[in-house]
A and B are shown apart, each in its own frame.
Chain A
Amino acid sequence: MSAATTTASAADKKKADFSIGRLLLEGRAFFALIAIIVVFSILSPNYLTISNLLIMSSHVAIYGILAIGMLLVILNGGIDLSVGSILALAGVSAGAMMQGLQIDAAGVILYPPVWAVVILTCVLGALVGAVNGVLVSIFKVPAFVATLGVMYVARGVALLMTNGLTYNNLSGRPELGNTGFDWLGFNRIAGVPISVIVLAVLAILGGLMLSRSAFGRWLYASGGNERAAELSGVPTRRVKITVYTLSGMLSAIAGLVLASQLTSAGPTAGVTYELTAIAAVVIGGAALTGGRGTMRGTMLGAFVIGFLSDGLVIIGVSSYWQTVFTGAVIVLAVLLNSLQYGGGRKR
C-alpha cells in the first residue's frame, strides 16, 4: 500500500512542475510576444514608443484581418490559399470603381460614393470566398486544391483588369462626391489608426462568434469530427460554405485597408500573404487538422509576426534575415503545437 501512495505523491509532484511547463506551452504566443517586445526595446530606444507600437499595429492589421478568416477555415479542417489574391482583386476592384464605372449602354460614367465602393468590394470578396466554399463542400474538391485554383484565377483577373498596372489615384474628387477613401488607412480615432480599430472590432466579433454562438460550436464540432457533427444535427455544409465566404469577405476588407494605407491599388499586392496568415494561426496554437484554436491565440500570432519583422527592420537587419527569422518562428510554433496536441494526447 505504501508503494501505491508514494507513486501517487510522486505523480502529484510531477504534475506540479508539469503544469508550469503547461502554462508556458499554452501561453507560448503571449510569452513570445513579450520576449520580442523586451528584446527589441533593449536593442532600439525607438521600439517601445506609443507611436511606433501604433504604426506596427497598423501593419499587423492587414495580416490580422486575413488571419481571422484563416482561423475560421482552419478550425473547419480546411485551408484557404486564396486570401492574398482576393486581397489584390478587392483592392483593384475598389480602385477601378474609384476611377468611375463606365456603362457603355447608357453612355455614362458612374462614380459610386466610397461607402458603396466598400460594400461592393466586400460583396465581391464574399462571392469569391463562396466559390471556394461550394467547391470544397458540394463538389468535394480538397480545400488545398480548390483554393489554390481560386488563388491563381483571382490573381489573374486582377492583372487582367489593370493590364498589370497600378491605380495610383484613389482619392476621388470632391465634385464627384467620392472622396474619403484614405480614411481607412490614415485617419485615427483618439490617436488609434482606423485599421487597428477595424482589426479589434472584427477580432472581438469573431471571438464572440467562436466562443459564445451556436455557429461557433458547430464550427468546432465539424472541424473535430464532421461525421459525428452531422449526425448530431450540425448543418456541416452550411458551416463550411459560411467560413470560406467569411474568409473571402475578410480578405476584401484587408484589401481595402491596404489600398487605403498605400493610397494605391495594384494587382500584385498581397503575394504570399496567405502564408503569413496561416503562420499567424499556427503560431497562435491552432491545429491544422481542425477543431482546435482560439481567436486570442491567432491575434497573438499575428502580432508576433508583425512585431518581429518590424523590429528587425527597425534595428536594421537585412530583409533576408527577416525571412529566416520568420521561418524559424513558424517551425518552432508547429513543433510546440505537436507537443501540446500530439504528445499530450498520446496514450
Chain B
Amino acid sequence: MSGPVNAAGEMTQDNPDAREVVLAARNVAKSYGQVHALKGVNFDIHRGQVTTLFGENGAGKSTLMKILSGVIQPTGGEIILDGQPVSFSNSTEARDRGISIIHQELSLAPNLSVRDNIFMGREIMGSTGVDFAEEERQTRKLMEELEENIDPLTPVEELRLGQQQIVEIARALSVDSRILIMDEPTSALSASEVEVLFKVIRDLTAQGVSIVYISHHLEEALTITDHAVVLRDGNMTAYAPRAEIDLEWIVRNMVGENYDLGSPPDTDMGQPALSVRNLTLPDPAGGFNLVDGLSLDVRAGEIVCIYGLMGAGRTELLETCAGRLRASSGEIVLEGKEISHLSIAERIARGLALVPEDRQRDGLVQTMSVGQNLSLASIASFTKGLFTQRRAEQSLIDASIREVTVKTSGPTAAIGSLSGGNQQKVVIGKMLATKPRVIMLDEPSRGIDIGAKAEVFRLLSEEARQGLAVIYSTSEVSECLSIAHRIIVMHKGRISAEFDSNVSKEKIMAASGESVAA
C-alpha cells in the first residue's frame, strides 16, 4: 500500500461537487438477449471521493461495475477515463489503468493460501523466481491494516466467509489502484470490521483514490458516502451529493415507498419445537470449542434472532442442528424427538431446514436452472412412485418464485444469470418449499435489498403465525430489533446474553463483545 496516485494539482476549491470526474459512463447499455440489464446509464466517479450506488436486487449495479472494470463489455455507450474514451477488453487492462474491483461473489481460489490469492496473477518476482517472503510481508501488512488476525499461509478454504471477504478486500487494496470499486464488500462482515474498512476507505480517499461503494446496508453506506446514485431497472433514477440526502431519500428513490422491517408478530407460542441441550462442537484445529455447551429452546411460532460477531459460533451452531457438523456431545430435540443421529435428509423430512450462509458454496447448484434449484430440497413431494410429476413440480416452482419474489426471466433461466440478491432469494425459497416446522436462516439478508428483506421478514412472521419456529442469525443490529421475539447474543460459542424485543442496540452490541462506540 504505497502512496497516492497523483493527487497533485488541480483541486482549486473545496466544494466536493466541483471535483474532477476521473471515470465516467456515458449512456452505457448492456443487454443479455432479451434482458436489458442497463438501459443507457450516466455515472460519474469523482477523484478522492466515495460514490455510492443504491438500487434494488437486479437493478443493474453489479453489471455497471463489471463494465467499468472491464469484466464485461457494454452493448452500447462509452466509458471515459480522464476525459478520454476508453474500452477495456478484460479486467487486466482496466487494472493496468488503475481500476480494480471487489466482486460481489467471492473470486478466490480456495486451495491456495491467503498470500497466493492476494498476489495471484501479479506475483512479485525476485532473482530466483517468486519472492514469497516479500509477498508474505506485504500480506501481513495488509492484514494489520485491516486489523485482522489471519495468517498469510492459511488456505482460503479454511477461512470463514467473512474472513474470505477480508482477503478479497486486501487483494483489491494491494493493487494500489486509483479507482477502487467495491460491490457489497461488507455483506459478511460485522459492525466493527465494517468500521475498520471505513477507516481504510477514508485513508484512501485522503490520498486521492476514488471509491465506488455498493451496499444494501443503507445507514452504513450513508456514513461513508460523498455522492449517492440510485439505479432502478437499468436506469439511473436519482443523483444527489451527500448534503442533500438521508435514509428516507434513498428508500423513496429505490423502492418508492418506505419499508419497515416489521415488528414481532402476535403468535400463539406452543411447545418447544427445537431444543438444544449442552451442545458442544470441538474445533477440529484444536482450539476452543466452536460451540461450547450451548442450550437453547425455540417454541413453535417463536422468532429468535442470534446476534454475534464473526466467529462467535452462530454458523457452527446452525450447521450442527442441520446435521452438517457432528457435535461431540449434547442433544438436539425436534418436536420431542432426539435427532442427533439422523442424516440431513431425514432432518429435512421431519421439518428442520437450514438456509446456509454462503450461497455459492452451500446454497446453489450452479449447473441447474432457477426452477430446479428451487425444487431441489422438496423432490420427494412431487415424486409419485418412480417418477417426478412435472406439473406438481411446476406449480411448486411457480409458487416459490411468487412467494419470495425472484426476479427472473423464467424458471428455466440459468441460476448464474440472476443478480446476487435474487440468488439469495432462491436459496430461501428452496428451503421454505420443504414446508418446515423449524427454519434456521444463517444471515438470510446477505445481499438482498431492503424491499426484499422486508418481504422475507414479512413472510417469516406470517409463517410464524401458522406455527413455524424461526431462528435467524445476523450481524446487523437493526435486523435483531425487527420481527424477533427474543434476541440471543453469542460470544465464543456460548450464549452471552438473552434479551426480549425491547432492548436497545447498545446493549446487544455490548453483550457481543463489540465496542459500542462503533
Task: Spell out A's residues near B (CB within 8 Å).
Answer: 1, 3-4, 6-8, 10-12, 15, 208, 212-214, 217-218, 220-221, 223-225, 227-235, 287, 290-292, 345, 347
Contact = CB atoms under 8 A, between A and B. Distances in A.
A50 B377 CA distance: 48
Contacts of A228: 356, 361-365, 376
Given A214-B388, A232-B377, A233-B377, A347 B416 contact: yes
B27 interface: yes
Interface of B: 27, 29, 31, 33-34, 36, 39-40, 66, 71-72, 75-77, 322, 324, 343-345, 348-349, 354, 356, 361-368, 372, 376-377, 379-380, 383, 386-388, 414, 416, 430-431, 434
A227 B36 contact: no
Given A7-B77, A233-B345, 9 more contacts: A213-B388, A223-B367, A225-B364, A225-B365, A231-B354, A231-B356, A231-B362, A291-B367, A291-B368
Contact of A347 (B72, B368, B372, B376): B72
A8 B37 CA distance: 11
6 contacts: A212-B386, A224-B367, A225-B367, A229-B365, A230-B324, A231-B344
A291 B367 CA distance: 6
Contacts of A6: 76
Given A213-B388, A214-B388, A221-B365, A4 B40 contact: yes
B72 A217 contact: no
A212 B33 contact: no
Contacts of B356: 228, 231
B349 A233 contact: yes
A229 B416 contact: no
Contacts, number: 110
A89 to B, nearest CB: 31
Given A7-B31, A231-B356, A345-B414, A217 B76 contact: no
B72 A231 contact: no
B387 A212 contact: yes
B72 A4 contact: no
Secondary structure dominating the interface of B: mixed
A248 B40 CA distance: 57
A263 to B, nearest CB: 37
Contacts of A230: 324, 344
A234 B376 contact: yes
Nearest to A227: B362
A4 B76 contact: yes
A51 B362 CA distance: 53
Contact of B368 (A3, A214, A220, A235): A220
A291 B388 CA distance: 19
Given A232-B376, A232-B377, A224 B366 contact: yes
Contacts of A212: 386-388
Contacts of B363: 228, 231
A180 B431 CA distance: 54
Contacts of A225: 361, 364-367
B343 A235 contact: yes
Looking at A7, A8, A224, A230, which has the most chain B CB atoms within 10 Å of its CB?
A: A7
A287 B367 CA distance: 10
B340 to A, nearest CB: 17
A291 B365 contact: yes
Contacts of A235: 343, 345
A3 B27 contact: yes
Contacts of B368: 220-221, 224, 291
A292 B368 CA distance: 9
B380 A214 contact: yes
Nearest to A222: B365
Contacts of B343: 235
B268 to A, nearest CB: 29
B291 to A, nearest CB: 18
B76 to A, nearest CB: 3
Contacts of A3: 27, 29, 40, 76-77
B345 A234 contact: yes
A291 B416 CA distance: 14
Nearest to B414: A345
B383 to A, nearest CB: 5
B79 to A, nearest CB: 15
A208 B366 CA distance: 23
Contacts of A291: 365-368
- Sort A-B residue pairs by CB-CB distance and give the 8 closest, nearest first: A7-B76, A291-B367, A224-B367, A224-B365, A233-B345, A233-B348, A232-B377, A11-B31
